[in-house]
Structure 1
Amino acid sequence: MTVTEVTAIIPVFNDRKSLEIAIPTSIKSLSEITPSFEILIAEDGSSDSSAELVNEYKKQDSRINLLHSDDRQGRGRALNRAIREARGNIVCYYDVDLATDMRHLQELIGAIRQGYDISTGSRLMPDSDIVRTGGREIASRTYNLLVRTMLGSRVFDHQCGFKAFNRERILTILPAIRDNHWFWDTEILVRAQKKGYRIREFPVHWRAGKGTTVRLKDVFAMGSAIMRLWWQIHVSKD
């Protein structure tokens, strides 16, 4: 039986149009890195025929698989499920809009091959090349500064949707993850650092997807999530 080296996970919620680009781009990019890979589409209760599109691709390429959920379970829970079901020794995920340039996929996977437990793209390192609105930039820098200050993280950018893991190592952390949605990315990096895991962060070329805005309630949610994790780690010892 052939061992799968890399599993690429793409979280999806009503993203059919983006998938039409993401799937063939993923096949091409992964084929240049390893002959042994699979693509898991973690489709989270979509109503736009995303699942049907994935199944059509699967008929043409058995390396593509669908993880469907009838109900909306949240991005974090969808990623947990996909990582547990992945066959690859290396597991990576990236946003379906391919906001992070896929030329960085080689470096992302290469870091795990080199012995790192986690690798992650960064939009906030000096050599990062990013384009997004001023409001999002300010919110992101403020959020990440709070995470570094309050939670003791050494990572610059916690929320970049471009990460890879040593699957065996990351499976031991998943039971401790409490967040089921967007804060999942931050929580897994913070908890991994608390366990002494080796993390490689590197600058990326990144462009904001269309239709993404920062709302006041998002800012409050960011602060609340940071405080909740601080309490779990330092007070309740979870």
Structure 2
Amino acid sequence: MSEIEVSSVLPVYNDREALTIAIPRSIEHLEAIAPGRFELIVAEDGSSDGSAEFVRECAESDPRVRLMHGDERLGRGKALARAFAGAHGPIVCYYDVDLATDMQHLAELIAAIRDGADIATGSRLLPESNIVRTGDREIASRGYNRLVRTILKSHLYDHQCGFKAFNRARLLTLLPSVESNHWFWDTEVLVRAQRNGYRISEFPVRWRQGEGTTVKPKDVLEMGSAILHLWWQLHAEKN
């Protein structure tokens, strides 16, 4: 295999069924974008449904597939950070295993980093975005992102879209300051990156809500608390 240029990460927790589609489709798109110069890392986070065993089988037949297994659950953000630290490519990216974001956008995502962006992120909330999801998810997402923009002074529109790419060296410089280990990781990375002058490319995507995806009141409260906690941290660091 040639030198790795792109390391793509699939964060996984009990997603064996989704992996049967996500792995071959990922390889198909990555081969078109960086032929012979990519790896697909599955950041498996303490699954109990056979996800790790399935990925091991895939890796045995295709060396481009790598498994990063955790016996105990780290949290989505921490699992991603570990995968990026162990990646071989100067460009790293990740997307949700349900492929909610249309994979046709993957070439655009990688191209943004090749063109000099430090971070690239898909957005479901730009006027040109094409999304389908339930009303409760739409209201919760727009309300959450408005709070991030207002309280944390972000200039981006969608902080939680699971479709992002990074200049790996720049990301690794930023990660020691990121405390979130789970869902808020995406937002904290983007907010801290803006405060450090990182160049961020946000572009509209076609996105479809995955089956079984729900918004729980507990999730909304936790994310709201995380916004306020990060605001306090940034305020303390500034002073």
Residues in 1 aligned to 2:238 and 2:176: alpha-carbon distance in whole angstroms: 14
Deviation at 1:3, TM superposition (A): 2.1
CA distance in 2, matches of 1:72, 1:59: 24
Query: CA offset at residue 222 of structure 1?
Result: 1.6
In the TM superposition, residue 223 of structure 1 has moved relative to its aligned partner by: 1.1
- Residue equivalent to 2:196: 195
How many Å separate the matches in 2 of 1:17 and 1:181?
Answer: 22
Letter in 2 for 1:89: P
Distance 1:29 1:135 in 2: 32
Deviation of residue 237 (structure 1)? 4.5
- Residues in 2 aligned to 1:25 and 1:6: alpha-carbon distance in whole angstroms: 16
Structure 1 moving runs of 4+ over 6 Å: none
Unaligned runs of 5+ in 2: none
Q: For 2:236 and 2:85, how far apart are their aligned partners in 1?
A: 29
1:236 is displaced (CA, Å) by: 4.4
1:118-133 matches, cutoff 5 A: 118-133=119-134
> Helix, strand or coil: the match of 1:172?
helix
The residue that corresponds to 1:91 in the other structure is: 92
Q: Which runs of 5+ in 1 are unaligned?
A: none
Aligned 1:127-206 pairs, distance under 5 A: 127-206=128-207
Q: Structure 1 residue 22: deviation in Å?
A: 0.2
CA shift for structure 1 position 39: 0.4
1:116 corresponds to 2:117? yes
Q: Give the whole-Å Cα distance in 2 for the aligned partners of 1:16 and 1:150.
A: 38
- CA distance in 1 between counterparts of 2:105 and 2:2 reads 26
Q: What is the TM-score of this pair, normalised by structure 2?
A: 0.98
In the aligned structure 2, how far is the partner of 1:123 from the partner of 1:65? 29
Letter in 2 for 1:23: I
How many residue pairs match? The answer is 238
User: In the aligned structure 2, how far is the partner of 1:210 from the partner of 1:16?
Assistant: 14
Which residue of the partner structure matches residue 231 of structure 2? 230
Which residue of the partner structure matches residue 78 of structure 2?
77
Deviation at 1:214, TM superposition (A): 1.2
| C-alpha separation in 2, matches of 1:198 and 1:236 | 22
* Residue 104 (1) aligns with residue 105 (2): yes
Deviation by residue 1:100-128 (Cα, 9 ceiling, x = unmatched): 00000000000000000000000000010
TM-score (norm 1): 0.98
